[in-house]
Amino acid sequence: MLLPEIIFINGLIVKVNNMIFDYFFLKFYKGILKSSIPEFPRFVTSWIFGIFINLNLLILSCLLAKSDILPFLYSKTSITIQLFVLVLFIYLRYNKNRIALIKSKYATFTTDDEFFLRKKKFNIAFILYVIATILSIFVVPWIKPGYLPELF
């Protein structure tokens, strides 16, 4: 039911918990529906979520390269290819039926339910994820050792 999936990214195996992944997609999806671009919510949400995941992987690679733990793993083309693969994966994974199922799953809860407490934790995790992604962009340049190639 809530078994983790396995995703291959840059040759690395990443396990993803379905529940938190679904919840993050739903939060981005609801945000797009409330924004000024609600015409294609699934498509736009796939792009935004894919960009966030790609950005996190890129920043993690930069931190590891600047710390001289691993070499920098990306080039211009690999970043672009990875982004398109992530967006395609997210877009195909979340069809209309799956989005409706996720909406109904997260819409029905009571304040006494165990799920209500889990949803609060997921909200906190979502907020921390977005903040950490944005703030981590500013941390990488302050780390002095190591070398990063110019990408753009």
Of 115, 135, 134, the C-alpha closest to 123 is 115
Residue span of the structural domain in which 105 resides: 18-142
Q: Where are the beta strands (DSSP E) in the chain?
A: 5-9, 12-16
Identify whether 55 is part of a domain.
Answer: yes
Q: What percent of the chain has pLDDT over 90?
A: 9
How far is residue 145's CA from residue 65's CA, in Å, rounded to a whole number? 9
Identify whether 148 is part of a domain.
Answer: no
CB 64 within 8 A of CB 150: no
Mean pLDDT, consecutive 10-residue stretches, the chain (152 aa), reads 45 58 85 83 91 86 78 81 91 89 74 60 80 79 65 56
Digit-coded pLDDT (tens) for 129-149: 888 888 877 777 776 666 666
The type of residue at 86 is L
Identify whether 147 is part of a domain.
Answer: no
- Domains identified in the chain, total number: 1
Identify whether 42 is part of a domain.
Answer: yes
